[in-house]
Amino acid sequence: MELQSTRQASGALASRRVIVTGGARGLGADFVEKLAADGAQVVFGDVLHDEGRRLAERLGANVHFVALDLADAASIDVFVQAAAQRMGGVDALVNNAAITNSGGRLADELSLETWDAVMNVNVRGTWRMCVAALPHLRESACASIVNIASDTAIWGAPRLLAYVASKGAVIAMTRSLAREFGAHGITVNAVAPGLTEVEATAYVPAERHAHYRQGRAISRSQVAGDVTGPVLFLLSDAARFVTGQVLPVNGGFVMN
């Protein structure tokens, strides 16, 4: 399945200039790797500098890592400028980075610090990335943004309130930005993955993974490649008239 979905988009993104946030590991690293395999130029950012540099080295000349901290508005501007300069412009942005490890507490146990940190990175960071990329995307004939949301914001996962609220905001921003940026021919969509087996979810108890598997129409574990195919599709010319949409990718665990 994984190979098939990637192969469908093969070559569709050749020479496309793509920015990916949070690309040093997990889903983001899979996006970076498959974009590069498809012929795209990629600049990705992350707070994990060593992992980022190692991945860029492994993937070769069309992939570059630039340090990025979404909690810092100035870092976002510097990152986007560096990316645009290196690639000679920007055609696409994948807003993937997020604080993903804030779960476990009930709403009345959550600290103000956790709430603010999650909102700052996941919501404010996504907004500022879109704004920083806009002047470059406006110059592109095939501009697109894909925001990585989460299906937890659709079905309302408990013990995850700050994260769920932040991903609900990402979905709402996707719709609003699609209308604003549509004037410039830029598509803005969101992909909402279900629980995926990556480093960040290794802490999730086995029973919870089993609960997800059983609840899916396609009853198996979800892997990064399940999400990458739909992201690449939304960046491709095949999806030029798709905008403001939220695509759950979860084997049918929740259906929109």
Q: Which residues are the active-site residues?
A: 163
Residue (of 37, 74, 30) closest to 55 by Cα position: 30
Please count the residues of this chain forming the interface with ligand NAD, following the rule CB under 6 A: 30
**Beta carbon of residue 91, minimum distance to ligand NAD (angstroms, whole number):** 21
Least distance to ligand NAD, CB of residue 141, Å? 28
**What is the token pair recorded at 157?**
């996962």
For residue 153, the minimal CB distance to ligand NAD (Å) is 9
CA-CA distance, 143 to 136, in Å (whole number)?
9
Interaction of residue 76 with ligand NAD, rule CB under 6 A: no
Torsion over CA of 92, 256, 152 and 157, rounded to 10 degrees?
Answer: 170
End-to-end CA distance of the chain: 22
33 binds ligand NAD (CB under 6 A): no
Of 55-63, 98-106, 128-136, 235-243: span binding ligand NAD (CB under 6 A): 98-106
Least distance CB 122 / ligand NAD (angstroms): 7
Residue from 5, 41, 126, 196 binding ligand NAD (CB under 6 A):
196
d(CA 160, CA 123): 15
Among 130, 195, 231, 232, binds ligand NAD (CB under 6 A): 195
| Structure token digits, residue 152 | 């937890």
The token duo for 168 is: 């609900």
CB of 11 to ligand NAD, least distance (A): 25
50 binds ligand NAD (CB under 6 A): no
Asked whether position 68 contacts ligand NAD by CB under 6 A, the answer is yes
Segment near ligand NAD (CB under 6 A); pick from 8-16, 64-72, 133-141, 240-248: 64-72
Angle at 248 between CA 247 and CA 251, to 5 degrees: 130
| 98 touching ligand NAD, by CB under 6 A | yes
Question: Shortest Cβ distance from residue 185 to ligand NAD (Å)?
Answer: 26
What is the three-state SS of 51-98?
HHHHHHHHHCCCEEEEECCCCCHHHHHHHHHHHHHHHCCCCEEEECCC
Give the DSSP letter string of 154-172.
HHT-SS-HHHHHHHHHHHH
94: which strand partners?
A: 20, 146
The residue among 140 and 152 lying less far from ligand NAD, judged by its C-beta, is 152
27 binds ligand NAD (CB under 6 A): yes
Does residue 116 bind ligand NAD (CB under 6 A)?
no
By CB under 6 A, residue 70 contacts ligand NAD: yes
Local structure of 104: helix, strand or coil: coil
Residues that bind ligand NAD (CB under 6 A): 21-22, 24-28, 45-48, 68-71, 96-100, 121, 148, 150, 193, 195-196, 198-201
